[in-house]
Amino acid sequence: MRLLSLSFSLFTFILLLSLSQSHASSQHTNNWAVLVCSSRYWFNYRHMANALGMYRTVKRLGIPDSNIILMLADDAACNERNSFAGSVYANPGRHLDLFGENIEVDYRGYEVTVENFLRLLTGRLPPSFPRSKRLLTDSSSNIFIYLTGHGGNEFLKFQDNEEVSAHDIADAFHQMYEGGRYNEIFFMVDTCQANSMYSKFYSPGILATGSSVVGENSYSHENDYDIGVAVIDSYTHYVLEYMEKVNKTSRLTMADLFTSYDVPKIGSHPGVRSDLFDRPLGPEHPMNEYGRGRGWTVEGGGEWVGREMEAEKRGRGLREALITDFFGGVVEVDVDGEGESVLQLFEDFECPPVFKEPTPPPIKTYSPPPPAPVSSTSLFDEYPFLRPSLAFVILGALFAFVFSGVISRRS
């Protein structure tokens, strides 16, 4: 009897252990994105281009408009100073219009405030707020949060008028954790001294990256002389350039993204924080070299909080963090818990090499669809009552035939 109870308790213990392990690697079921441009005025065009570039990338990789909250503090596309009405470009040659023809901006103009941002994250919105302005995430949502604007040591400026501090965002994230409003968060920030913005987080499941260390500025990338201002920031430009290689079924990991940071090109030292994130960032070899390659002049390698924990995470055998976990819509949904069978499909898929210089994407030219073939107007289109009357006649004849047959058989 004792042996039976002991074995039973041992069995349940092992079962719970295995279940808890599978919970740690539980997949998300939906993706959300919160893209915030917090600066106003025409000369901050590049911040709006940053946010719109991320918007386009995130939409291309599969997150629908209903799951994207886009906050733009000013109107750059239809600004009176914009020579190219309705368009926002991120490169001097004006190859790609980021605004496009199908865009939904959820918070715009004066609505982009610190209060609205924090209320959006924590969900404490008045009942009058429409659905499109709410972050309707649940405990299995992965959220990609991108902030850009002017900032400094542990603060980000909103509309040149107020600031949000890193402590506020950390507290908002903890409220989200307590409320079960996210599965994992990927936090990216492109401002001056950006790495200080994620230094205060204390909730589990957050992976963060920033564009420059404390005491360092982030720089803009290129100017366009017809638009008249700088059109993109360099950190975001190189991240977007890398993301052009990623498509919906890509198996590139977060480690691939982070090791693509090229400090001489970006002009500042990006950082990573993964100590709150419980999954490994990628395969061992490339991530070990993070921050130690050329250009990383910061003492002790590039800033990566959580470097020591990486090997231990890999040892636990958890799933690696893929770029499409945060940037795209869910491609494989684990319904019955047998995720391995889906992963089998990607066994023979060849991942592109990480250290290759990313090739610029081919410029897609829009060609209008060929004109529709000429369709002849049929008799039915000219006399619209012909079809139902013909149906009536045919059905009536059929019924009459059947009935007469039945009647004759009876009599």
Partner 1 sequence: MLRTGLFLIFLLLSSVFCLEDSTEEFEEHLSIKSLKDGRVAFSFTFKTLLRDAIPRDPRTLAFDNDDSQHYTLFPLTLGQILRQYAITELHLTLNAGKWNYDAWGYPDEPDVGVGAELRAWMAGDSISSIDDRWQGVRNALAGLFCASLGSLDEQRTTSPRSTFPPEGALPDWGLPHELRHASHASEHVCTENLTPFLKLLPCKSRSGLAMLLNPHRIFDADWHGIGLHVIWRPEGVEVRLSVQLVSDPLRVSGQKKQDWSFSSLFDRKVEKACPIAKSSRVSVELPSSGVYRVYPEPPQVKDGIAHYDLKNANEVWDIGTMWPTDFEYPLSKPNPALVPFSVRRNLLGSTQDRGQLSIVLTNNEQDVLQLLYLETMPWIIQFYLHTIRVHADDALRDDLISNISYILPIPHARPATFETVLTLPGQSTITFTMDVAKAFLRYTEHPPDAQRGWDLPPAIFTPLRQSSHNSTNLGKRVYSPSLLVDLATPDFSMPYNVIIFTCSVVAFIFGSVFNVLTRKFIVVRLEPQKRSESSPSKNLDSDESGKPDTSKSNVH
Q: What is the DSSP track for 352-374?
A: PPSSSPPPPPPPPPP-PPPPPPP
Cβ within 8 Å of residue 158, ≥6 positions away: 38, 73, 112, 113, 114, 117, 149, 164
Phi and psi at residue 10, in whole multiples of 5°?
-65, -40
Query: Between 85 and 311, whose beta carbon lies closer to partner 1?
Result: 85
Nearest to 194 by CA among 161, 143, 235: 235
192 catalytic? Reply is: yes
* Shortest distance in whole angstroms from residue 350 CB to partner 1: 38
* Shortest distance in whole angstroms from residue 57 CB to partner 1: 18
Instruction: Catalogue the E-assigned strands of 4-133.
Output: 30-37, 68-72, 107-108
Query: Between 82 and 191, whose beta carbon lies closer to partner 1?
Result: 82
| Residues in touch with partner 1 (CB under 8 A) | 40-41, 75, 77-78, 84-87, 97, 99-106, 108-111, 128-133, 158-162, 371-372, 374-375, 377, 384-385, 387-389, 391-392, 395-396, 399-400, 403, 407
* Shortest distance in whole angstroms from residue 56 CB to partner 1: 13
Of residues 28, 37, 47, 192, which has the active-site annotation? 192
N-term to C-term CA, the chain: 82
The position carrying tokens 């009935």 is 403
Query: Between 109 and 360, whose beta carbon lies closer to partner 1?
Result: 109
Distances from the Cα of 394 to the Cαs of 3, 379, 403, in angstroms? 80, 17, 14
Query: Between 135 and 323, whose beta carbon lies closer to partner 1?
Result: 135
Q: How far apart are CA 36 and CA 115, in angstroms?
A: 13
Q: How far apart are CA 235 and CA 263, in angstroms?
A: 9
Sign (positive or negative) of CA dihedral 49, 55, 60, 65: negative
| Strand-pair partners of 34 | 69, 145
Which amino acid belongs to residue 384? P
Q: What is the DSSP track for 262-283?
A: -HHHHSS--EEE-TT--S--S-
* Shortest distance in whole angstroms from residue 100 CB to partner 1: 7
3-state SS, residue 40:
coil
Phi and psi at residue 244, in whole multiples of 5°?
-65, -20
Nearest to 293 by CA among 314, 321, 264, 266: 264
Query: Between 15 and 395, whose beta carbon lies closer to partner 1?
Result: 395
Query: Between 35 and 103, whose beta carbon lies closer to partner 1?
Result: 103
Query: Between 91 and 259, whose beta carbon lies closer to partner 1?
Result: 91
Cβ within 8 Å of residue 14, ≥6 positions away: none
* Shortest distance in whole angstroms from residue 58 CB to partner 1: 16
* Shortest distance in whole angstroms from residue 181 CB to partner 1: 20
* Shortest distance in whole angstroms from residue 395 CB to partner 1: 6
Neighbouring C-beta atoms of residue 120, cutoff 10 Å: 21
Phi and psi at residue 44, in whole multiples of 5°?
-100, 30
Query: Between 17 and 78, whose beta carbon lies closer to partner 1?
Result: 78
* Shortest distance in whole angstroms from residue 71 CB to partner 1: 12
3-state SS, residue 227:
coil
Q: What residues are labeled active site? A: 150, 192
